[in-house]
């Protein structure tokens, strides 16, 4: 009986730990006001000392017509509220997110509103396949957005071969 219990605990740890990496990939963000696609963000893991953390970089922007207008290969629009006025595409808007296996989510990181340059605490979790809840907050007050995972068939050709393995956060801060 003791062996069965230990095996069950070990399996729960593996399943929970496995969910962390499952959140990496490309996600479509939706504009809160228009309900139209706004950007594509690549969530990726990076080493921070001995820790592995999650960050998110804008890799594409949609135009008013609902089609991708900029990618990492051709950034145009400037984030003028951020120090150094970097391009929106190529800017990390999420960083320092640590996996909390007990709560089954990333937390203790930061998220930036790239249009204002304001930085908030953040929590990221998934409660449905292919969807993320991304919350920016100050204390208990905040706002949660739903992001949609891009499937291979929905991913624009310009984004299919992005290699995030050597990325580290580029926040402009």
What residue segments make up the domains of the chain, in order of their start? 2-159
**Where does the pLDDT of residue 162 fall: very low under 50, low under 70, confident under 90, or very high at 90 and above?**
very high
User: Which carries the bigger pLDDT value, residue 99 or residue 1?
Assistant: 99
Contacts 24+ apart (CB under 8 A), 164-168: 164/24, 164/42, 164/44, 164/57, 167/44, 167/46, 167/55, 167/57, 168/46, 168/55
pLDDT of 17-37, one tens digit each? 445 667 999 999 998 888 899
What count of other Cβ atoms lies within 10 Å of the Cβ of residue 93?
25
What integer is the mean pLDDT of 38-54? 95
Percent of the chain with pLDDT over 70: 86
Residue 41 tokens read as 């963000």
Q: Is 112 exposed, middle or buried (0-12, 13-18, 19+ CB in 10 A)?
A: buried
What integer is the mean pLDDT of 55-78? 95
**Where does the pLDDT of residue 170 fall: very low under 50, low under 70, confident under 90, or very high at 90 and above?**
confident
Predicted pLDDT at 14? 36
Whether residue 87 is predicted with pLDDT greater than 60 in this model: the reply is yes
User: Which carries the bigger pLDDT value, residue 99 or residue 5?
Assistant: 99
**Where does the pLDDT of residue 173 fall: very low under 50, low under 70, confident under 90, or very high at 90 and above?**
low
Q: How far apart are CA 37 and CA 40, in angstroms?
A: 8
Do strands 37-48 and 51-62 pair parallel, antiparallel, or not at all (unpaired)?
Answer: antiparallel
**Among candidates 53, 124, 110, 117, which has minimal Cα distance to 88?**
117
Give domain 2-159's CATH number out of 3.50.50.60, 1.10.3720.10, 2.40.128.520, 2.40.37.10: 2.40.128.520
Residue 11: partners with Cβ closer than 8 Å, 6 or more residues away: none
Whether residue 4 is predicted with pLDDT greater than 80 in this model: the reply is no
């Amino acid at each position: 009986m003791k062996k069965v219990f230990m095996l069950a605990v070990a399996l729960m740890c593996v399943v929970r730990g496995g969910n962390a990496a499952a959140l990496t990939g490309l996600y479509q963000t939706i504009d809160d006001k228009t309900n139209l696609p706004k950007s594509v963000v690549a969530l990726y893991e990076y080493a921070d000392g001995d820790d592995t953390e999650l960050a998110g970089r804008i890799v594409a922007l949609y135009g008013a017509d609902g089609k991708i207008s900029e990618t990492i290969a051709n950034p145009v629009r400037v984030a003028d509220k951020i120090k150094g006025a970097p391009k929106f595409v190529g800017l990390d808007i999420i960083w320092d997110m640590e996996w909390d296996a007990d709560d089954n989510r990333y937390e203790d990181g930061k998220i930036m509103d790239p249009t204002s340059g304001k930085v908030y605490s953040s929590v990221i979790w998934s409660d449905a396949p292919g969807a993320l809840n991304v919350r920016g907050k100050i204390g208990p007050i905040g706002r949660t957005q739903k992001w949609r995972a891009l499937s291979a068939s929905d991913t624009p050709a310009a984004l299919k071969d992005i290699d995030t393995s050597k990325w580290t956060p580029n926040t402009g801060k």
